[in-house]
Amino acid sequence: MRLTLVTETYFPQVNGVSRTLGYLVRHLIDAGETVQLIHPDYGVGGSGQHCQLVRSVSLPFYKELHLPLPPFGDVTRGIDAFRPDLVHIATEATLGLSVLRHVRRRRVPVVSSFHTNFDQYTDHYRVGWAKGTIWRYLRWFHNRTLETYVPSWTTIADLEARGFERLVLWPRGVDATLFRPDRPGRIEVRRALGFAPEEVVIGYVSRIAAEKNVAYLTEALERVAGDRPAVRFLFVGDGPARGDLERRMGARARFAGYRSGEDLADHYAAA
């Protein structure tokens, strides 16, 4: 099978969407499928044999996010030349919309996936007034694909209530051989971060951004610290809200930044 995957976020960006799609691409290639990958140009080169990079600009209020810039003539010509059996659109912004319109005109089968709780984005970035318009657009977008892959039953129920159709569960797995609490590396991580062996450490692994409910998290952890002053905190990840979180959590917390692979697993086990 020849599959075109279109996304507005990919490696080296660190987020749930980019990691999920990275695993998907790796699995497809290992299974012998041919994958055309279309994503923004982050200045680090392509991500595979059939990779097509798209010029983009970072958003002023969220430097980690890149918005692909039209026109997308090179993209659509690249898709036509690749001749995919199926197109999977993972994001719904300018690039995803352009590809959706193009492949529907070409009568190429197209599916999509839903990754982002836009309610939280609109609330935290002061565009709550646009929430209704955004949901109408998302419903229009996904209902024009054959299927939409969704990460949980809860999300499926929410989207069905909003009028989304043909939703398919696409759950995420965990490598239990890699992520386990008895990893020997946890001891060195705790030592390097200054945690005593007997100290209780609460861990948080995520992008540190407003839409991840960081304000609610901080309030909850401050209450924990008030009730149990000896508890320590470990934050793994980065994002625009990190600075404020560091100031509020103070010396009782450690921030490890982005981690991956064995190192990430050791940090999980250290909590």
- In 3D space, the residue among 142, 178, 145 whose CA is nearest the CA of residue 162 turns out to be 142
How much of the chain is in helix, strand and coil states, percent to nearest 5?
A: 40, 20, 35
- In 3D space, the residue among 134, 120, 8, 115 whose CA is nearest the CA of residue 59 turns out to be 8
Q: For residue 5, what pLDDT band results from cuts at 50, 70 and 90?
A: very high
- In 3D space, the residue among 53, 58, 93, 47 whose CA is nearest the CA of residue 75 turns out to be 53
Exposed / middle / buried, residue 109 (Cβ in 10 Å: 0-12, 13-18, 19+): middle
pLDDT of residue 49: 67
Q: Quick check: 125 pLDDT over 80?
A: no
pLDDT of residue 14: 80
- Angle among Cα 201, 206, 212 to the nearest 5 degrees reads 110
pLDDT of residue 250: 92
Q: What is the pLDDT of residues 47-78, one digit of tens each?
A: 666 888 898 887 776 666 777 888 899 999 99
Token duo for residue 261: 């692979």
Q: What is the pLDDT of residues 230-254, one digit of tens each?
A: 999 999 999 889 999 999 999 999 9
pTM above 0.75, yes or no: yes
Exposed / middle / buried, residue 262 (Cβ in 10 Å: 0-12, 13-18, 19+): exposed
Domain limits of the chain?
Answer: 2-169, 185-270
Query: What is the topology classification, in CATH, of domain 185-270?
Result: Rossmann fold (3.40.50)
Average pLDDT over residues 141-150: 98
Q: Identical fold at 2-169 and 185-270?
A: yes
Token duo for residue 242: 């990190």
Domain 2-169 of CATH type 3.40.50.2000:
yes
Of the listed ranges 7-21, 100-114, 149-163, 166-180, the least confidently predicted one is 7-21
Q: What is the pLDDT of residues 147-163, one digit of tens each?
A: 999 999 999 999 999 99
Q: Quick check: 84 pLDDT over 70?
A: yes
Average pLDDT over residues 198-208: 94
* Integer angstrom CA distances of residue 135 from 104, 150, 192, 215, 262: 21, 16, 45, 24, 39
Average pLDDT over residues 88-117: 96
Query: What's the whole-number average pLDDT of the chain?
Result: 91
